[in-house]
Amino acid sequence: MKRTLRNLSAVAAALFFSLSGLSQANYTYQLDLNKLDNGLMEVKLTTPAISEEEIDFLLPLAVPGYPKTNLAFGPMVAELTAYDKWGMPLPAERIKPNRWRIRDAQGLQRIEYKVRNMWKYRQQNSVFLPVENFFIPGRAFMLNPGGLFGYVEGMEKLPFYIYIVRPKGLFASSGIKGMAAEGYRDAFSFPSYQELADYPILYTEQRPASFEVANTTVEIGVFSENDKVNPQRIQKVYQPLLAKLADYLGGSLPADKYAFLFFFYDGEILFQESVEHGNSSAWVWPEKWDPKLLKAANLEEGLEKVDMHKFLHIYAPWNIHSEEFLQFDFDEPQKYRSCHQWFYQGATEYLFYHARVNQEMIPEKTFFWFVNDFLAAMKDFRSDVSLTDVSRRTYTDLADQHMNLEFKGTIASLLLDIELRARSGGTHSLKKLVKGLAARYGRYKAFKDEELFGIIAEMTYPEIGQFLKDHVGGTKPLPINEIFNKVGMEYDAGDNKVYPKEEATKEEMELRKEWLYGE
């Protein structure tokens, strides 16, 4: 009885506050995809209650997955107006391309603006299409929350409610849990701007393909301007590939859902780009295929080649990350930058190559070609800055070193893998470490940046901690020859390649087998 009463009074209080507008501590966004205004998307926002005189309303300059701060979301916004609860406009001035200063903000109740179609301006304004917004009215909408929805500075950690009315006959795909492929109206919410920004949505004429891989529902959404590509064509390539990956990872994956969102355009081949999110990835690819230009015989080979790296991010950073990762600042991303980007990118990339040799999808010889490619790629980058420093400073002075996180990060991960095998008599591995870290942390539990090496040392061996301190945190050259020797191989510093040793010992050969084909 008591409990019922308390609940009732809580409901009454909530009602009172919401009617008086006092308790409004969230953002509510509304879109109607049927009602473009001259090709512009109308965005309606009911703002959270504001206690300051003056606030800044922002669109991001950067988003996770894009290591620069030059996104042109602001200039794509037109006719922004702020209103109070009587529907009277409040002073709102654009003080930077992506920033509006709103005065008398205590009275603020709504903001309305329009977003231009980046597809129309792609040649002039696009910075990175997979994170931008484009509309092919009636046929397709690639919606990226970062370029569509804004936030009040300092109030990013409030819930965001999103309501979208969709055109008849369009299907939706996204990593959003519970979002149905069919429907007329979508409603979902996220606890913060950062979470919202991680979920692009593709609305398209084609029904998405959906299938299970281990415990994960995989969705493939496709828009193809001339209907050259359908989701089944991509499913044919990815379903067997993902099944092998799931086997490699022990038959269970740390994601309920994963979505591949593909936008295939007609005409001249100008872009082939993609971006990775926590449990989805967005791709802008040409319909026409030019084997020379796109470095693959056909779409199928192209899909296979561009790898499952993006998918494997369901481990790191999605389920393995430091506190900085949960603090992304969309205006000044350099503020919180984890020093373990090398791990999020390098270990992910390495696992994909290792999975393929491990599951006998590629022969050993091909695997070592890849290794040598990575060794060659690393050479083009500075060796006097550590991977830790590059990780932390990719938005500032070491932006040009960003790609090395993947190249050197992959080689560092590979050497770690051999070391783990060597120290454990073949039983430990990088894959086990990654799985162990994902189980120990997960989506919302983060470690402190400075703790990771210690945690890994504790979960493995003190020598592994020292390796990380010296060669990842420090600038000591990676002990490539020394470690490859343990698996019967040697590194020729002259031509910067690894080769099988002429006289490898039985132990070395056994360790190589464990390393490449072990559990």
Stretch that binds Zn ion, among 42-50, 128-136, 207-215, 343-351 (CB under 5 A): 343-351
CA distance 489 to 509: 9
Q: Which is nearer to Zn ion, 152 or 316 (CB)?
A: 316
Stretch that binds Zn ion, among 342-350, 375-383, 397-405, 497-505 (CB under 5 A): 342-350
CA distance 276 to 274: 7
Tokens found for residue 198: 């991680």
Nearest distance, CB of residue 208 and Zn ion, angstroms: 23
CA distance 516 to 501: 16
Please name which of 419, 264, 430, 448 lies closest in space to residue 358, comparing C-alpha atoms: 430
Taking the CA atoms of the chain, what radius of gyration do you get in angstroms? 25
Q: Which is nearer to Zn ion, 276 or 419 (CB)?
A: 276
Q: Which is nearer to Zn ion, 345 or 429 (CB)?
A: 345
Q: Which is nearer to Zn ion, 408 or 421 (CB)?
A: 408
Contacts 24+ apart (CB under 8 A), 393-396: 393/334, 393/337, 394/67, 394/337, 394/341, 395/62, 395/67, 395/68, 395/69, 395/333, 395/334, 395/337, 396/334
Stretch that binds Zn ion, among 268-276, 300-308, 331-339, 352-360 (CB under 5 A): 268-276
Per-residue b or e along 187-221, where b marks 16 or more CB atoms closer than 10 Å to that residue's CB: ebebebbbbbbbbbbbbbbbebbbeebbebebbbb
Q: What is the 3-state secondary structure (H, E, C) of 275-316?
A: EECCCEEEEEEECCCCHHHHCCCCHHHHHHHCCCHHHHCCCC
Q: What are the backbone dihedrals phi and psi of residue 341, each rounded to the nearest 5 degrees, phi first?
A: -55, -35
Nearest distance, CB of residue 134 and Zn ion, angstroms: 23
* Contact letters for Zn ion, residues 271-290 (x by CB under 5 A): -----x--------------
Nearest distance, CB of residue 103 and Zn ion, angstroms: 42
Stretch that binds Zn ion, among 294-302, 341-349, 367-375, 439-447 (CB under 5 A): 341-349
Nearest distance, CB of residue 344 and Zn ion, angstroms: 7
Q: Which is nearer to Zn ion, 345 or 410 (CB)?
A: 345
Tell me the three state secondary structure of residue 243.
helix
Q: Which is nearer to Zn ion, 275 or 456 (CB)?
A: 275
Stretch that binds Zn ion, among 30-38, 124-132, 239-247, 340-348 (CB under 5 A): 340-348
Distances in Å between the Cα of 416 and the Cα atoms of 144, 370, 410 are 37, 17, 10
Nearest distance, CB of residue 488 and Zn ion, angstroms: 31
Nearest distance, CB of residue 342 and Zn ion, angstroms: 11
Q: How many Cβ atoms from other residues are within 10 Å of residue 291's Cβ?
A: 11
Stretch that binds Zn ion, among 51-59, 192-200, 284-292, 337-345 (CB under 5 A): 337-345
Q: Which is nearer to Zn ion, 248 or 343 (CB)?
A: 343
Q: How many Cβ atoms from other residues are within 10 Å of residue 496's Cβ?
A: 13
CA distance 360 to 358: 5
In the region spanning residues 375 to 404, those forming contacts with Zn ion, defined by CB under 5 A, are: none
Stretch that binds Zn ion, among 97-105, 253-261, 338-346, 392-400 (CB under 5 A): 338-346
Please state whether beta strands 257-265 and 216-224 pair in parallel, antiparallel, or not at all (unpaired): parallel
In the region spanning residues 149 to 188, those forming contacts with Zn ion, defined by CB under 5 A, are: none
Nearest distance, CB of residue 392 and Zn ion, angstroms: 17
In the region spanning residues 20 to 59, those forming contacts with Zn ion, defined by CB under 5 A, are: none
Nearest distance, CB of residue 309 and Zn ion, angstroms: 5
Stretch that binds Zn ion, among 160-168, 339-347, 374-382, 424-432 (CB under 5 A): 339-347
CA distance 406 to 395: 16
Q: Which is nearer to Zn ion, 186 or 406 (CB)?
A: 406
Nearest distance, CB of residue 230 and Zn ion, angstroms: 27
Q: Scan for tokens 């299970």, then name that residue.
A: 212
Q: Count of residues binding Zn ion (CB under 5 A)?
A: 2
Q: Which is nearer to Zn ion, 276 or 331 (CB)?
A: 276
Nearest distance, CB of residue 63 and Zn ion, angstroms: 14
Q: Which is nearer to Zn ion, 345 or 388 (CB)?
A: 345
Nearest distance, CB of residue 406 and Zn ion, angstroms: 7
* Contact letters for Zn ion, residues 415-434 (x by CB under 5 A): --------------------
Nearest distance, CB of residue 176 and Zn ion, angstroms: 21
Beta bridge partner(s), residue 276: 281
Q: Which is nearer to Zn ion, 345 or 401 (CB)?
A: 345
Cis upstream peptide for 317 (omega within 30°): yes
CA distance 17 to 8: 14
Q: Which residues bind Zn ion (CB under 5 A)?
A: 276, 345
